[in-house]
Amino acid sequence: MRNYIQSLTRRSTRISLCLALAASLVWLGVIWQRRERYSLYRDVRDGQRYINLIANAERTCYGRLGRYISPADLEGVSCDNLRQATSETQKAGFSSEIHAEGPHFTVRLIPSSKTRLISLYSDETGNIRFGTRDALATSASPLLH
């Protein structure tokens, strides 16, 4: 009788442990499904990286040519870093609008991927302004700090 009770106790302990493990796995699965798929912080950080990449490429072109350059004027000009920067930006899910005229340039990142929601705007001053997919960033948008 004593062995039978010990056997039942061990069995019920094992069953309880298995049930607790199963409940924990289900709980983790629910949390995993509800996790944040979009990260505003990551989106802004990526946008800053790419807008700075393009702005630095523009500054390099300015140093070589004495003027800023738009993508339409890249033919026959040795500013491959601007070409590369716009290509990397596009692969990251942003399209870029670059306007250059003499000593001034503006660049705006526009989300082209469904995973991107922010829009950024910058010019030769280096200030970055923030917008969204629905309200694109402009020179009048709030500054990003």
Does the global pTM surpass 0.95?
no
Does the pLDDT of residue 22 top 70, yes or no?
yes
* Cα–Cα distance, 8 to 4 (Å, whole number): 6
DSSP 56-82: HHHHHHHHHHSS---GGG-TTSS-HHH
The reported pLDDT for the residue numbered 31 is 63
H runs (alpha helix) in the chain: 2-33, 40-65, 80-91
Q: What is the pLDDT of residues 70-121, one digit of tens each?
A: 888 877 777 888 889 999 999 999 999 999 988 889 999 999 988 889 999 9
Residues whose CB falls within 8 Å of the CB of residue 84, separated by 6 or more in sequence, listed in order: 57
